[in-house]
Chain A
């Protein structure tokens, strides 16, 4: 098992009290593609961040088990985490442009990611960076490498993040909304690229997304999260025909190209779901 999470709870202390955001999540991941879907605020990103120990220090994390490749994350030192993060596990963060340094060129940031894991000269790293940018289907990668983050488009920023995370050949890739700003064609190509990595290199993938059809087509299994709980876990191909009212509610919210709706239904939440 690459990732083994059992009964993960994440809470935040504040002046007004204690807020439990993730309430007992269990997930297992081998060399496969696991999707996490669910509405905003359901705790998807928190779960992923906890696995990489990327939460603020005042966060309260409890779990029966929280392991990456047999390493207990809860007791891992910061030094140990540094050898995992970026190198053994890539993490594509949700807001790509925020995660890039605004005053450094995109190319130098990808090159830096490459160099910290692979070593080599600056020149070689920059060349590798340009190759990586080409791999994520960026037109004119040389020009883009020399641009600053505010000079690249939303989708380009996302792909730059992906390139950075693919640089060190990770064993696990956590992708938090990696393609939310990409058009269908580029999205398809990026997913094909990730697919290749998963099957060729035996990489594990944790894909967080609110695009249910995408997850359904791309992943092997999918966990549906609501208010800090995993509502159901099912085969990804069954997602579009799921029975749980919450999952159905999410599916109904989506506009459709082929079956236009006059008005979109909105989700009505049922307290029963949490029983």
Chain B
């Protein structure tokens, strides 16, 4: 599914926080968004997912403009994983219940099988199925969040900092998982992260946001080589490079 975002503007009670963002993502590609904290990255993703109704500009999937209020069928195609694995699972529902909600809404058949399949797709043991979120570790919760998105069998996954709350070993597992899923299912990703190494590991193209503007779009390769134009991109890059060198 191709994604086209054109001059997207988003306001909260009169304050514009996204001020004309445009980018395109080809089918099966991954687009990364980095940028200042509070620059509107999550807000862009939420608007794309249909969680925000106060935007203007163009959001199109497969060339079709997304309507302001998305019909239920839309959510079979586009799903989102949230920033915080601690806050994105209902605290009083079992994993089974959390995962079965979307199939129930859409009247899908074989819900049991689907849940079993999606759990194994994210490498969670079947025993996790009847647990509550607080009985799982942060990494396992994030897997559940990914499983919940996958059960819709979407074509596009919007990932908001999918690993920033996780430790490096779990981060590696999740990043590998996302890479495998993309290869298996030909998914299209838009991923937000503040970590350049994580972004460039998964995405071939990166957009840099400051204060509601997307100030630069570069390929991961150019970012690596330092072929960047904007001062903020350069600063982000040099800070990351500096950290990677031994102290």
Interface residues of A (CB under 8 A from B): 38-41, 95, 97-98, 138-139, 143, 151-156, 159, 177, 180-188, 210-214, 216-217, 236-237, 239-241, 249-250, 253-258, 260-261, 263-267
Q: Show 6 A/B contacts (Cβ-Cβ < 8 Å), sorted by A.
A: A153-B37, A154-B37, A156-B37, A183-B194, A257-B237, A257-B241
Query: A40-B170, A183-B34 in contact; A216/B84 too (CB < 8 A)?
Result: no
Contact partner of B244 (CB less than 8 A), chosen from A159, A177, A213, is A213
Contact of B239 with A254 in the complex, beta carbons under 8 Å: no
Contact of B83 with A236 in the complex, beta carbons under 8 Å: no
Contact of B42 with A153 in the complex, beta carbons under 8 Å: yes
Contact of B243 with A182 in the complex, beta carbons under 8 Å: no
Contact partner of B37 (CB less than 8 A), chosen from A39, A143, A183, A253, is A183
Q: In the complex, what residue of chain A is closest to B235 when comparing beta carbons?
A: A185
CB contacts (< 8 Å) of A138 on chain B: these are: 38
- Interface 9-mer from B53-61, B148-156, B161-169: B161-169
Contact partner of A39 (CB less than 8 A), chosen from B35, B36, B170, is B170
Contact of A254 with B197 in the complex, beta carbons under 8 Å: yes
Contact partner of B86 (CB less than 8 A), chosen from A95, A212, A239, A265, is A95
B224 CB to nearest chain A CB (Å): 6
Contact of B243 with A214 in the complex, beta carbons under 8 Å: yes
CB contacts (< 8 Å) of A260 on chain B: these are: 200-201, 224
Complex CA distance for A153 and B171, rounded to whole angstroms: 22
Contact of B246 with A237 in the complex, beta carbons under 8 Å: yes
**Chain B residues numbered 77-129 whose CB sits less than 8 Å from any CB in chain A:** 83-84, 86-87
Q: Does chain A have a CB within 8 A of B73?
A: no
CB contacts (< 8 Å) of B137 on chain A: these are: 40-41
Query: A154-B161, A257-B224, A257-B241 in contact; A184/B172 too (CB < 8 A)?
Result: no
Complex CA distance for A153 and B192, rounded to whole angstroms: 13
Complex CA distance for A216 and B200, rounded to whole angstroms: 22
Contact of B170 with A258 in the complex, beta carbons under 8 Å: no
Contact of A263 with B243 in the complex, beta carbons under 8 Å: no
Contact partner of B176 (CB less than 8 A), chosen from A97, A187, A264, is A264
Contact of B84 with A254 in the complex, beta carbons under 8 Å: no
Contact of A267 with B200 in the complex, beta carbons under 8 Å: no
Q: In the complex, what residue of chain B is closest to A158 when comparing beta carbons?
A: B37
B208 CB to nearest chain A CB (Å): 10
Dominant secondary structure of chain B at its interface with chain A: helix
A143 CB to nearest chain B CB (Å): 7
Q: Does chain A have a CB within 8 A of B4?
A: no
Chain B interface size, as a band, is 35 or more
Contact of B42 with A154 in the complex, beta carbons under 8 Å: yes
Q: In the complex, what residue of chain B is closest to A267 when comparing beta carbons?
A: B169
Complex CA distance for A108 and B242, rounded to whole angstroms: 38
Q: In the complex, what residue of chain A is closest to B34 when comparing beta carbons?
A: A183
Contact of A151 with B12 in the complex, beta carbons under 8 Å: yes
Contact partner of A153 (CB less than 8 A), chosen from B15, B38, B197, is B38
The 7 A-B residue pairs with the shortest CB-CB distance in the complex, in nearest-first order? A155-B37, A255-B201, A210-B167, A183-B194, A264-B172, A184-B239, A253-B172
Supply 16 further A-B pairs (C-beta < 8 A) apart from A95-B84, A188-B239, A254-B172.
Answer: A41-B137, A183-B34, A183-B36, A185-B235, A217-B243, A241-B246, A250-B168, A254-B197, A255-B197, A256-B197, A257-B223, A257-B237, A264-B175, A264-B201, A265-B172, A267-B169
B226 CB to nearest chain A CB (Å): 10
Q: In the complex, what residue of chain A is closest to B41 when comparing beta carbons?
A: A153
**Chain B residues numbered 212-247 whose CB sits less than 8 Å from any CB in chain A:** 223-224, 232, 235-237, 239-244, 246-247
Q: In the complex, what residue of chain A is closest to B85 when comparing beta carbons?
A: A95
Complex CA distance for A155 and B37, rounded to whole angstroms: 5
CB contacts (< 8 Å) of A214 on chain B: these are: 243
**Chain B residues numbered 4-51 whose CB sits less than 8 Å from any CB in chain A:** 12, 15, 34-38, 41-42
Complex CA distance for A211 and B201, rounded to whole angstroms: 17
A244 CB to nearest chain B CB (Å): 14
Contact of A266 with B201 in the complex, beta carbons under 8 Å: no
CB contacts (< 8 Å) of A98 on chain B: these are: 86-87
Q: In the complex, what residue of chain B is closest to A144 when comparing beta carbons?
A: B38
Complex CA distance for A263 and B201, rounded to whole angstroms: 9
Contact of B244 with A256 in the complex, beta carbons under 8 Å: yes
CB contacts (< 8 Å) of B36 on chain A: these are: 183, 185-186
B162 CB to nearest chain A CB (Å): 12
A65 CB to nearest chain B CB (Å): 28
Contact of A258 with B241 in the complex, beta carbons under 8 Å: yes
Contact partner of B166 (CB less than 8 A), chosen from A156, A210, A250, is A210
Query: A97-B84, A184-B196, A237-B247 in contact; A258/B224 too (CB < 8 A)?
Result: yes
CB contacts (< 8 Å) of B211 on chain A: these are: 139
Q: Can you list, as one digit per residue, whether each of B160-201 has a CB less than 8 Å from chain A (1) or not (0)?
A: 010011111111110110010000000000000010111011
Complex CA distance for A4 and B235, rounded to whole angstroms: 39
Which among A183, A241, A250, A253 has the highest number of chain B CB atoms within 10 Å?
A: A183
